[in-house]
């Protein structure tokens, strides 16, 4: 993650690279919340993203949130995975489904989607991309 290019946006409506990378680093926390709670009362007005000033800060956030996620997921059993989880915004239900399904579709898939976006940003900036499933074109 080239933090010196954190303000890069490939399009005016796109998220800044630094914001996208911070979002990816925080996403394991969403899986922790899915695993450890039954209802999330989502209040975007109360959310403040962490102040990240370097690639090292970004990696530290990701490592911390990933460790918490791994611990939370390790505590799950089949009954809890089959249980319901809900996200509310005020009185409005945004998500209401089985926890196991949501961990995959709203947790893992969300992370994969944004990681792929980061790959596009990096490609546009000519930043080498590490391999995900074997070597990347930059490693050949």
pLDDT over threshold 90, residue 93: yes
Each residue of 4-48: pLDDT tens digit? 999 999 999 999 999 999 999 999 999 999 999 999 999 988 888
* Beta-strand runs (E) in the chain: 39-41, 84-89, 92-98
Beta strands at 92-98 and 39-41: parallel, antiparallel or unpaired: unpaired
Asked, for residue 83, whether it belongs to a domain, the answer is yes
Asked, for residue 64, whether it belongs to a domain, the answer is yes
- Give every strand in the sheet of 39-41, ordered side by side: 39-41, 84-89, 92-98
When pLDDT is averaged across residues 61-76 and rounded to a whole number, the result is: 97
pLDDT over threshold 90, residue 130: no
Domain residue limits at 108: 15-126
Asked, for residue 65, whether it belongs to a domain, the answer is yes
* Predicted model pTM: 0.91
Asked, for residue 139, whether it belongs to a domain, the answer is no
Number of structural domains found in the chain: 1
d(CA 85, CA 48): 24
Asked, for residue 43, whether it belongs to a domain, the answer is yes
């Amino acid at each position: 993650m080239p933090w010196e290019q954190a303000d890069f946006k490939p399009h005016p409506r796109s998220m800044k690279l630094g914001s996208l990378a911070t979002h990816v680093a925080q996403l394991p926390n969403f899986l922790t919340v899915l695993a450890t709670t039954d209802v999330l009362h989502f209040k975007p007005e109360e959310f403040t993203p962490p102040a990240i000033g370097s690639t090292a800060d970004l990696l530290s956030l990701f490592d911390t949130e990933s460790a918490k996620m791994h611990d939370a997921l390790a505590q799950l059993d089949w009954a809890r995975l089959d249980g319901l989880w809900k996200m509310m915004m005020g009185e409005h239900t945004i998500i209401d489904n089985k926890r196991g399904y949501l961990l995959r579709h709203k947790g893992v898939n969300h992370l994969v989607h944004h990681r792929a976006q980061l790959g596009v940003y990096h490609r546009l900036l000519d930043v080498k991309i590490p391999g995900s499933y074997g070597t990347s074109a930059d490693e050949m």
